Structure 1
Amino acid sequence: MAPRQEVSAWRPAVPGVVEVFHAHFTGYAYPMHVHEAWTLLIVDDGAVRYDLDRHEHGTPHDTVSLLPPHVPHNGSPVTAGGFRKRVLYLDADVLGENLIGAAVDAPDLRDPVLRRRVGQLHSALARPGDELEADSRLTLIGERLRDHLRAGREVTAQRRDPVLAGRLRELLDARVVEGLTLDEATVLVRAHRAHLVRAFSTAYGIAPHQYLTARRVDLARRLLLDGRPPGEVAVAAGFYDQAHLTRHFRKLVGVTPGRYGRPGRTSVR
């Protein structure tokens, strides 16, 4: 089999994510190297064997690997079929240098929930206009990673905070079209990012980005029923573009914006 290399890389507009890197390699092996960023790695097909701090590790399907900054590591495929991986390079401040030692000791995390959340984050990062969702998911992933790295130490559970949740909902309601980043919200309500997301999700049963998207879809429905074209509605309702509107509109309403509200075509409740 001839060596195969497929690579896709981009820098998303999400604080803390330095680079997104997707690759399929068959005959390529990484030499020893270092990164300034945290490397958060999942393998979708095959497996990778790598050395970190002179110890050999591997990446089976249910594993999330977290390689710390400034620590040399390499990487090579385990089988002739190679491997397909998705990587997030996270700014060093996302987890902090005080957890580097813990990551060196235990870089491979067997956590199905974390694995699923990392996959969901990759999906959100690939969709322009879903930056709030990506930022929220990254916040909760960072919290779970810190919990793993603090193994052996008691981790205090986040408590319910309906007052804080209500304050965030008021902010989202006031900024349906222009939107709100987590950094802006934490400054305005003076709360930690992870606690803010958890408090909102606990209080309302929905994540902040899902709430904002639902409000935008509601606004889009009203504008479409006013007779405005989908392309114009997308911008007016706060979506990145018409494709962004169509994806979320079809998910929440069951039809595309172009079919919505046409006499004899769509029934609305």
Structure 2
Amino acid sequence: MGEACPGRAGAVLYVVDVSVHAWHPPVPGIAEVFHARFTAHAYPAHVHDTWTLMVLDGGRVDFALERERHGVGVPRAGASDTVILLPPGVAHDGRTVTEAGFRKRVLYLDGDVLAPALTGAAVGSPLLRDAVLRERVHGLHLLLGEAASAHEGPTAERLEAESRLAFIAQRLRERLTGRQPEPYVPPGAGLGVRLRELLDARLVEGITLAEATAVLGHVHPTHLIRVFRQAYGLPPHAYLTGRRIEAARRLLLAGMAPAEVAGAAGFYDQAHLTRHFRRHVGTTPARFARSGRAG
């Protein structure tokens, strides 16, 4: 069954979150494992502080990265050999394309798993067609899933998982190094960067536009918003919400109750958290937390 929730312009978007499963494995370098199937879902533009390494097991997905749209799907006959890699700090969204939706498995990798210098190559070519790489990612997912289902301790299978991740990272570096895409230049010093640093520092308590403009030198509010959007591809409020959702995911997987997570991550209350969590993750905070405990 689907859950009805309002979409843009009064449309109703049905989010089917069967088989949503997320957990934090005791493996250095992996911030989160996320498995899900959606028949109709649209992620708003957001950023991660992790590398997003994704494989599709069925269906098609469409996404924008650095304002350029990409699409990928799994053939009706046979498996896909494509791996999707999205770099940290770069805005992206995502949405279903067909009524069948899509099934995906994601590894959120810590920012230091790959060098920041590879960001440009990943932005230029986020779709990596590489059967060897996909098989390595698939194998790591199987191992992590078996360990989670068996409720194994922190050291069980850890060495093997670390080894598999090392070979995945090596393959990614080999695929990305030497490519000559359009150079990606991260925003340098300026109002946009200063506002982002301010938002990161005030993640929980938040900040008003008037406070931000005063701290940053009494600049005009609309100018500040335009500069930030030009630098990061989304408005300040959307950036802040996305970062709060990331914080909430980690707290939920660490075992904190949704009602407590709401305040700890900067949301007004649990209802406020739930509303934004549905949009960004496709399920409720409680179900997300239970999926991690269920194994």
Q: Name the TM tier (shorter chain).
A: 0.5 to 0.7
With structure 2 as the length reference, what TM-score do the two structures score? 0.50
- Other structure's SS at 2:34 match: strand
The residue aligned with 2:37 is: 24
The residue aligned with 2:139 is: 120
Q: Counterparts in 2 of 1:174-189, with a 5 A limit?
A: none
- Partner AA of 1:104 in structure 2: V
Q: Counterparts in 2 of 1:1-269, with a 5 A limit?
A: 2=2, 3=14, 4-6=16-18, 7-60=20-73, 61-126=80-145, 127=147, 128=152, 129-152=156-179
Alpha-carbon deviation of 1:97? 1.0
* Matches of 2:118 and 2:108, distance apart in 1: 16
- Partner AA of 1:5 in structure 2: D
- Other structure's SS at 1:103 match: helix
User: Contact conserved, 2:60 with 2:102, CA < 8 A, in 1?
Assistant: yes
Alpha-carbon deviation of 1:152? 4.4
Report Cα offsets for 1:73-109 as digits up to 9, x if no partner: 0001121111110000000000021111111011100
User: Contact conserved, 1:63 with 1:115, CA < 8 A, in 2?
Assistant: yes
Report which of the two structures shows the higher radius of gyration computed on alpha carbons. Answer: 1
Report Cα offsets for 1:101-142 as digits up to 9, x if no partner: 111011100001101110000111121322111110100000
Give the structure, 1 or 2, with the largest relative contact order (CA under 8 Å, sep 6 or more).
2
Deviates more, 1:49-58 or 1:124-133: 124-133
Stretches of 4+ aligned residues off by more than 3 angstroms: none
How many residue pairs were aligned?
153
User: Contact conserved, 2:121 with 2:179, CA < 8 A, in 1?
Assistant: no
- Other structure's SS at 2:108 match: strand
* Matches of 2:108 and 2:129, distance apart in 1: 20
- Other structure's SS at 2:122 match: helix
User: Contact conserved, 1:39 with 1:69, CA < 8 A, in 2?
Assistant: yes
* Matches of 2:179 and 2:61, distance apart in 1: 28
* Matches of 1:27 and 1:97, distance apart in 2: 33
With structure 1 as the length reference, what TM-score do the two structures score? 0.55
User: Contact conserved, 2:113 with 2:169, CA < 8 A, in 1?
Assistant: yes
- Other structure's SS at 1:85 match: strand
* Matches of 1:44 and 1:69, distance apart in 2: 23
